[in-house]
Amino acid sequence: MDKAYLLIDFGSTYTKLTLVDIEHEEIIATSKAITTVETNIMTGFNQAFDLLKQKYDKKNIEIIKKLACSSAAGGLKMVTVGLVPELTVEAGKRAALGAGARVLATYSYEMTNDEISEMKNMDVDIILLSGGTNGGNKKVIIENAKKIAIHFQDIPIIVAGNKCANDEIREIFDKHHINYTITENVMPNLNEINVLPVREKIREIFMKNIIQSKGMDKAESFIDGILMPTPAAVLKACEVLSKGTSELSGVGDLIVVDIGGATTDVHSLSEGYPSKAGINLKGLQEPFAKRTVEGDLGMRYSALALLEVSGEKMIKDYIDSNEISERCQYRHNHIAYVPENIDDVRFDEALAKVATKLAMNRHVGHIEIAYTPLGEVFNQYGKDLLEVKYIIGTGGVIVHSENPDKILEEGLFSKQEPTVLKPKNPNLKVDEKYILSAMGLLSYDLPNCAFRMMEKYILCEIGG
């Protein structure tokens, strides 16, 4: 009997199952059904599971473990509070995004009462409180802790600020019986970022607290663990593929573009140091595994927002249509819409090209030229991704497209914008079997198996 892992993604729309033969390192079958988080999460799961059962030979396959990730019920929603917008606020935001969260809002300096009431109206799962380098400013983080302690007694809080403020914050939070945890500073020294401890704490709280509050606890008895939010699973898979494991060497720098209905996510796995000599690296340090989320670039719910940022003219560069705003409106109103004719498929692809181009432009770093008495000098802000080896596309529109390369090509370096540091000559690949999140889960237990499967299913077999 072959041993198998069942990997589950409770997505915002679909519950997707992937059954993996861990001995032969093969995908046995996949299935999906609509996520049913409002009633009982297991209804949708069971539908998908029934479909899956028809696709494999139960006599020869034994499921030994079931692992899940989830972005159901709106995903993991966070607010981050820091000190200076470009420094600890940005560092906190990057840590939260890297943990797979949706960042609903960020706050800087001492929070006002208006900001507190604004935050009260949001449905927040976790608050990340940071501010000050170690030994730096502690006044602001302590003031913010006091306000949070009074107004948010039911929300788990992660403290990742100036370590010198921790004792006082602990006193404040204990007095108010707050559910909090203290971890390493997200920016221990100026411009030096430390996202991993925060990411791990977010994942722990997600596993412990969030799952119950999202009606996911019904799944817990059947599943061995809901390990993390779905985007964190994707990022984990990318990390393993890029860096390798203790036994296997990684494939090097890569980017994943994930175009969804509501957002476009870009993950880059790269230090992003300047690839040319004589360039000054400026600003806050970038995490090796970086995720950005563009809430205004999406194929359905965010189609109107996409039109607003790109303008009709940019979409017209990709498709000749006189009904651009009507078609975006229709997609916004019908989030489950599947294009039926070739013209609508082309329109979706045009939107995907725009989303790829804009999301990549925002994700990658850029060069600014300063004119000095000593001639031109170059400053780099963000990551230099010119030499990245792979761009991997995922998300419905790319996976189902006949021309995924054409969509991904929009994410390449362009001579028209030479200061935008997008990849020059990467291999374009597609996550055709939609396995990235599943491989992220698998890599927690069996990193070597997950690595080889990604090589086989994403890098070699498919794509250009």
Q: Residues interacting with another protein, by CB under 8 A?
A: 83-84, 86-88, 131-133, 135-138, 187, 189-191, 280, 282, 370-374, 377, 379
Residue 143 or 405 having the CB closest to another protein: 143
Residue 133 or 268 having the CB closest to another protein: 133
- Rounded to a whole number of angstroms, the minimum distance from the CB of residue 273 to another protein is 15
- Rounded to a whole number of angstroms, the minimum distance from the CB of residue 99 to another protein is 22
Residue 136 or 404 having the CB closest to another protein: 136
- Rounded to a whole number of angstroms, the minimum distance from the CB of residue 193 to another protein is 13
Residue 86 or 174 having the CB closest to another protein: 86
- Rounded to a whole number of angstroms, the minimum distance from the CB of residue 139 to another protein is 8
Residue 130 or 356 having the CB closest to another protein: 130
- Rounded to a whole number of angstroms, the minimum distance from the CB of residue 38 to another protein is 43
- Rounded to a whole number of angstroms, the minimum distance from the CB of residue 117 to another protein is 24
- Rounded to a whole number of angstroms, the minimum distance from the CB of residue 136 to another protein is 4
Residue 137 or 209 having the CB closest to another protein: 137
Which tokens hold the place of 83?
A: 């000190």
- Rounded to a whole number of angstroms, the minimum distance from the CB of residue 88 to another protein is 6
Residue 87 or 259 having the CB closest to another protein: 87
Per-residue 3-state assignment (H helix, E strand, C coil) for the chain: CEEEEEEEEECCCEEEEEEEECCCCEEEEEEEEECCCCCCHHHHHHHHHHHHHCCCCCCCEEEEEEEEEECCCCCCEEEEECCCHHHHHHHHHHHHHHCCCEEEEEECCCCCHHHHHHHHCCCCCEEEECCCCCCCCCHHHHHHHHHHHHHCCCCCEEECCCHHHHHHHHHHHHHCCCCEEECCCCCCECCECCCHHHHHHHHHHHHHHHHHHCCCHHHHCCCCEEEEEHHHHHHHHHHHHHHECCCCECCCCEEEEEECCCCEEEEEECCCCCCCCCEEEECCCCCCEEEEEECCCCCCCCHHHHHHHHHHHHHHCCCCCCCHHHHHHHHHHCCCCCCCCHHHHHHHHHHHHHHHHHHHHHHCCEEEEEEECCEEEEEEECCCCCCCCEEEEECHHHHCCCCHHHHHHHHCCCCCCCCECCCCCCEEEECCCCCHHHHHHHHHHCHHHHHHHHHHHHHHCCCC
Residue 85 or 464 having the CB closest to another protein: 85
